A and B are shown apart, each in its own frame.
Chain A
Amino acid sequence: MSGDNPAATFRLEALDVMDEVERALLDLGRRLGDAQLIDAVFRGLHTVKGSGAMFGFDDLADFTHHCESAFDKVRKGLVPATGELVSVILAACDHMRGLIAAEADVAAGQVFLDGLSAALAGAQGVTPVAAPSAGAHWRIRYFLPSGCLANGINPLALLAELRELGDCQITALTDAIPPLAELEPTDCHIGWEVELSGAITREDIEDVFLFVLDDMEITIEQIASESTPANDHLPTAETGAIAEADRATKNTARVSETVRVPADRLDDLMNRVGELVIAQSRLSQLAEDMSMIFKGCSGCWASMASTSKSPGHGVSLVSLSII
């Protein structure tokens, strides 16, 4: 085995992956439309490229990237899987093996890449990347999904990330907090309205909520920027489930709906919610333990009752005063 040497361990695993890629390519040569085989080849190349980069096999990662990209196009239906493409990648597998073993001539890879280019048809579109708008001003309003605290989402970490993006003013939305008796401790009943200013894109904000974005209620509005008059509010696209009606009533109802609190007080509140969650967990554990004890007692009691009813023990239970 390779001991504590990540590169040596990677070599062993990468060669296994290459075996799988070659097997899939050979099968694909006979069944060119097989989506599972196409996906298997892509995943194998993806793994070799990514792990290679992770362990310092940069030449391998660079070369494999071209093959992986080609198969990504196939996978996405932009390019058909052809016998020629499969043959070129199969031949390239030998070069990749050489790069894994650090024995291949890196320059020799160009021959395979030329062949790959020749085999590829179609072009790939380029997705424009949104540039940060300087001085953008955003209003974000959100409620975290049900059960988020039990699933390890940390509301304070989200707020801290938002603060790191730029000037940040946070308002807690506390109207949805139920009476204590009805409070579900694994839900976060507090919502937030956050006003953010700075060179911030919508993607920056969505990235903060990466793990919960699809499950939560959130609106993200760009309300003003340096290039836009401050009173010219321009609500843009919305993400999440808060409806237009909510947005329409928000401006008129905000004063009665929200309470502004200092950030440190908010942190304290969240700590208390966290303690409630822990306390509930402890109580659940205690309840489980007590249940086990009661079951044990019940078993003993049944056993004692059974024993006392037997003829032999019946004698021994006669009061001594009678004797």
Chain B
Amino acid sequence: MSASILTVDDSASVRMAMRIALTGAGYKVTEASDGSEGVAKASGTRFDMIITDLNMPRMDGLTMIRELRKMPSQSGIPIIFVTTESDESLKAQAKAAGATGWLIKPFQPDQIIRIVQKVLGR
């Protein structure tokens, strides 16, 4: 069965790029445009993985990760955050919040697939 992935990003083009790359590799993709929508969508189901931006309006990625990790149902779900190389402090904060790993922005389609396979082990 193909893994289901929730992508959370306020940029429509980044969401689209992720969707094209992930669906092309056989993953099922659900999208959210900010942290609040991400929490709402994750609460209703258990995704195999969540990929999120950090800087977003309404609810940012860090807050979303903290909210998700408070929910027993979201324990153990890999959460990958998207960051730029210069965001070392954000990287540390996101890990402390419960993130699993990161994806450096900008990324190529094969990079996101490689990270997903690395984290999911498939």
Asked if B73 and A285 sit within 8 Å, CB to CB, the answer is yes
Give the chain B neighbours of A156 by CB distance below 8 A.
121
Within 8 A of A (CB), among B24-65: 49
Size bracket, chain A contacts: 35 or more
Asked if A278 and B76 sit within 8 Å, CB to CB, the answer is yes
Give the chain B neighbours of A281 by CB distance below 8 A.
72-73, 75-76
**Binary contact readout A274-300 vs B (1 if CB under 8 angstroms, 0 otherwise):** 100110111011001000000000000
Selected from B84, B108, B119, the residue in CB contact (under 8 A) with A54 is: B108
Closest residue of A by beta carbon distance from B11: A13
**Binary contact readout A146-160 vs B (1 if CB under 8 angstroms, 0 otherwise):** 000111111011001
Give the chain B neighbours of A75 by CB distance below 8 A.
86
Q: A154-B121, A156-B121, A215-B95 are in contact. Are A149 and B76 (CB under 8 A)?
A: yes
Which of A39-47, A225-233, A245-253 interfaces with chain B?
A: A39-47
Q: How far is the CB of B104 from chain A (nearest CB, A)?
A: 9
Q: A53-B106, A211-B100 are in contact. Are A6 and B20 (CB under 8 A)?
A: yes
Asked if B108 and A153 sit within 8 Å, CB to CB, the answer is no
Give the chain B neighbours of A6 by CB distance below 8 A.
13, 16-17, 20
Within 8 A of B (CB), among A243-270: none
CA distance A10 to B15 in the complex (A): 11
Give the chain A neighbours of B118 by CB distance below 8 A.
157, 161, 210
Asked if B86 and A39 sit within 8 Å, CB to CB, the answer is yes
Q: A6-B16, A9-B12, A54-B108 are in contact. Are A150 and B73 (CB under 8 A)?
A: no
Asked if A151 and B100 sit within 8 Å, CB to CB, the answer is yes
Q: A53-B106, A211-B102, A277-B76 are in contact. Are A152 and B119 (CB under 8 A)?
A: yes
**Binary contact readout A34-72 vs B (1 if CB under 8 angstroms, 0 otherwise):** 000001001100110111011100000000000000000
Q: A13-B11, A43-B84, A47-B105 are in contact. Are A55 and B17 (CB under 8 A)?
A: yes
CA distance A9 to B15 in the complex (A): 11
CA distance A284 to B73 in the complex (A): 9
Q: How far is the CB of B109 from chain A (nearest CB, A)?
A: 8
Asked if B99 and A151 sit within 8 Å, CB to CB, the answer is yes
Give the chain B neighbours of A274 by CB distance below 8 A.
76
Asked if B75 and A277 sit within 8 Å, CB to CB, the answer is yes
Give the chain B neighbours of A42 by CB distance below 8 A.
86
Asked if A51 and B13 sit within 8 Å, CB to CB, the answer is yes
Asked if A150 and B76 sit within 8 Å, CB to CB, the answer is yes
Asked if A150 and B108 sit within 8 Å, CB to CB, the answer is no
Selected from B95, B99, B102, B119, the residue in CB contact (under 8 A) with A154 is: B119
**Binary contact readout B87-116 vs A (1 if CB under 8 angstroms, 0 otherwise):** 000000001001111100111110000000
Give the chain A neighbours of B5 by CB distance below 8 A.
none
Within 8 A of B (CB), among A68-86: 75
Closest residue of A by beta carbon distance from B104: A50
Asked if B121 and A160 sit within 8 Å, CB to CB, the answer is yes
Give the chain B neighbours of A46 by CB distance below 8 A.
84-85, 106
CA distance A280 to B72 in the complex (A): 8
Extra pairs beyond A161-B121, A285-B73 (12, CB < 8 Å): A10-B13, A13-B11, A13-B13, A50-B106, A50-B107, A151-B76, A151-B100, A154-B121, A156-B121, A160-B121, A211-B100, A280-B72
Mark B residues whose CB is within 8 Å of A. 11-14, 16-17, 20, 49, 69, 72-73, 75-79, 84-86, 95, 98-102, 105-109, 118-121
27 A-B pairs with C-beta separation under 8 A: A9-B16, A12-B13, A13-B12, A13-B13, A46-B84, A47-B84, A47-B105, A47-B106, A50-B105, A50-B106, A54-B106, A55-B17, A75-B86, A150-B76, A150-B98, A151-B69, A151-B99, A151-B100, A152-B49, A152-B100, A154-B119, A156-B121, A186-B75, A210-B101, A215-B95, A281-B73, A285-B72
Mark A residues whose CB is within 8 Å of B. 4, 6, 9-10, 12-13, 39, 42-43, 46-47, 49-51, 53-55, 75, 149-154, 156-157, 160-161, 186, 210-211, 215, 274, 277-278, 280-282, 284-285, 288
Nearest 3 interchain pairs by C-beta: A50-B106, A157-B121, A152-B78
